[in-house]
């Protein structure tokens, strides 16, 4: 279902961040959760949703160079993927 994503349109650093997040979400089997869950008024950066926080912590553990902004942006890209695939 979620395999072989092509992030070649992004810079090398962004590709690394996105590939890492993609692989973490796939490993955790959280694509449907990402698709069905909104982060709330603060967006991903300030979400209070415990499961989203758990997913983002795993992503941050896998790619340790995230800032709050880059992690929020990465999650928005992952949300876009989740919404577009099998919609």
- Cα 24 to chain center, whole Å? 8
The encoded tokens of residue 54 equal: 């758990």
pLDDT tens digit string along 6-29?
899 999 989 999 999 999 999 999
Listed by start position, the domains of the chain span: 12-84
Q: What is the pTM of this model?
A: 0.91
On the 0-12 / 13-18 / 19+ scale of CB atoms within 10 A, 65 is exposed
Average model confidence (pLDDT) across the chain:
92
The answer to whether the beta carbons of residues 78 and 19 sit under 8 Å apart is: no
| DSSP secondary structure code for residue 3 in this structure | -
Nearest to 24 by CA among 5, 44, 11, 46: 5
């Amino acid at each position: 279902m979620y395999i072989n994503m092509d992030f070649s349109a992004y810079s090398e650093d962004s590709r690394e961040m996105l590939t890492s997040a993609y692989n973490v979400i796939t490993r955790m089997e959280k694509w449907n959760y990402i698709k069905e869950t909104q982060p709330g008024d603060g967006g991903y950066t300030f979400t209070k949703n415990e499961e989203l926080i758990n997913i983002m912590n795993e992503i941050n553990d896998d790619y340790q160079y995230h800032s709050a902004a880059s992690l929020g942006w990465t999650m928005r890209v992952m949300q876009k993927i989740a919404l577009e695939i099998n919609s």
